[in-house]
């Protein structure tokens, strides 16, 4: 019985920008790589500090898909290990699928290593939670229309009917449209909004405001395309999880009335 060959190429999530948010596996693969291809416009150089001497490091921001693939292909056929470093998590608004198809066509084995996505990093930086007991138990990751169209059934105004927490990516310059769509969809004007830019970078900028303020706010210099907006309904309500209530039983704790000494 033959085993699956070890991968030669690793698509690695670099996280939002803070090198300390790299996973241990990502750090190890960066140390072991012979070729690292990274998006210079999105991944800070500090993330690459663990690369070994002699490792070839290539900024892919000016390359086409075919040029990037050729670099990977040549390295693999020369017996080298390749790390393709993507910002955040490779599975979210990344370009792994089209790169992977080219590798599949040539029988080149690869693996995907997850990373911290900007939504989770922004929530942590702002000390907020997407979920509120009894009030909000759903998080939707989405974006506004841009050069890449959003399917009609996933338009923001339609998603707003769920009144769920949202993490809206790649929509910084369109913050007024974002606010208008959320208000038209039914979110209350006092809904908490976190605007987060360059999370984990030295120039990190986190702003907390309400939806009505977002609708009338002039564009901030730092609200570029990569700014992420967290839409957090019921954030100000004082609610408490039932998990630690004394009468709440689970596999590791009995109701206080049922405990025996």
Q: Which pLDDT value is given to residue 2?
A: 44
Question: Mean pLDDT throughout 40-48?
Answer: 91
% of the chain surpassing 90 pLDDT? 72
Higher pLDDT, residue 2 or 253 = 253
Q: Which CATH number fits domain 9-113: 3.40.1010.10, 1.10.4160.10, 3.50.50.60, 3.40.640.10?
A: 3.40.1010.10
166 three-class SS: strand
All CATH 3.40.1010.10 domain ranges of the chain, comma separated, are: 9-113
CA 191 to mean position of chain CA atoms: 22
Query: Per mean pLDDT, which of 3-17, 212-226, 244-258 is the most reliable?
Result: 3-17
Structure tokens at 142: 């989405």
pLDDT category of residue 217 using cuts at 50, 70 and 90: confident
The pLDDT mean for the chain works out to: 88
All CATH 3.30.950.10 domain ranges of the chain, comma separated, are: 118-232
User: Residue 209 to residues 11, 119, 136, 223, 229: CA-CA distances in angstroms?
Assistant: 36, 17, 19, 14, 11
DSSP one-letter code for 113: E
Instruction: With a cut of 80, say whether residue 257 has pLDDT above it.
Output: no
What would the pLDDT profile of 105-143 be if each residue is shown by its tens digit? 999 999 999 999 999 999 999 999 999 988 899 999 999
Q: Kindly list the strands in the beta sheet with 192-197, ordered across the sheet, starting from the edge strand earlier in the chain.
A: 139-143, 165-169, 228-232, 192-197, 205-210
Q: Which pLDDT value is given to residue 258?
A: 59
Give the C-alpha separation, 140 to 129, whole Å: 13
Weakest-pLDDT range from 61-65, 153-157, 233-237: 233-237
Residue range 118-232, CATH number: 3.30.950.10
- 175 contacts 223 by C-beta, under 8 angstroms: yes
Q: Which pLDDT value is given to residue 260?
A: 47
Q: Which pLDDT value is given to residue 235?
A: 73
Give the C-alpha separation, 186 to 260, whole Å: 50
Structure tokens at 133: 């007991």
User: Residue 51 to residues 55, 146, 200: CA-CA distances in angstroms?
Assistant: 6, 35, 20
Q: Which pLDDT value is given to residue 4?
A: 66
Q: Which pLDDT value is given to residue 145?
A: 86
Instruction: With a cut of 70, say whether residue 256 has pLDDT above it.
Output: no
Q: Which pLDDT value is given to residue 171?
A: 87
Q: Which pLDDT value is given to residue 112?
A: 97
Q: Which pLDDT value is given to residue 146?
A: 80
% of the chain surpassing 70 pLDDT? 87
- 182 contacts 164 by C-beta, under 8 angstroms: no
Structure tokens at 83: 């790390």
Question: Mean pLDDT throughout 44-60?
Answer: 95
DSSP one-letter code for 221: T
What would the pLDDT profile of 148-182 be if each residue is shown by its tens digit? 889 999 999 999 999 999 999 988 888 999 999 99
Question: Mean pLDDT throughout 55-77?
Answer: 96
Instruction: With a cut of 60, say whether residue 259 has pLDDT above it.
Output: no
- 202 contacts 125 by C-beta, under 8 angstroms: no
Higher pLDDT, residue 82 or 146 = 82
């Amino acid at each position: 019985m033959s085993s699956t060959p070890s991968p030669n190429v690793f698509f690695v999530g670099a996280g939002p920008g803070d090198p300390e948010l790299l996973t241990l596996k990502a750090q190890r693969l960066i140390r072991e790589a012979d070729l690292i291809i990274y998006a210079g416009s999105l991944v800070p150089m500090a993330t690459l500090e663990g690369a070994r001497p002699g490792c070839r490091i290539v900024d892919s921001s000016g390359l086409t898909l075919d040029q990037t693939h050729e670099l990977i292909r040549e390295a693999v056929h020369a017996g080298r290990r390749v790390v393709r470093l993507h910002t955040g998590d490779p599975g979210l608004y990344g370009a792994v699928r089209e790169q992977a198809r080219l590798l599949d066509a040539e029988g080149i084995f690869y693996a995907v290593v997850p990373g911290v996505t900007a939504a989770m990093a922004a929530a942590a930086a702002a000390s907020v939670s997407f979920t509120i007991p009894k009030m909000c138990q759903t998080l939707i990751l989405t974006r506004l229309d841009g050069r890449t169209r959003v399917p009609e059934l996933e338009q923001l105004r339609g998603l707003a009917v769920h009144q769920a927490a949202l993490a809206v990516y790649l929509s910084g310059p369109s913050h007024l449209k974002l606010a208008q769509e959320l208000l038209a969809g039914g979110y209350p004007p006092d809904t908490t909004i976190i605007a987060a830019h360059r999370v984990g970078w030295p120039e990190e900028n986190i702003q907390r405001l309400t939806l009505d303020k977002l609708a009338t706010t002039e564009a901030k210099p730092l609200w570029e395309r990569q700014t992420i907006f967290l839409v957090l309904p019921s954030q100000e309500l004082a609610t408490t999880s039932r998990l630690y209530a004394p009468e709440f039983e689970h596999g590791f704790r009995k109701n206080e009335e049922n405990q025996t000494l």
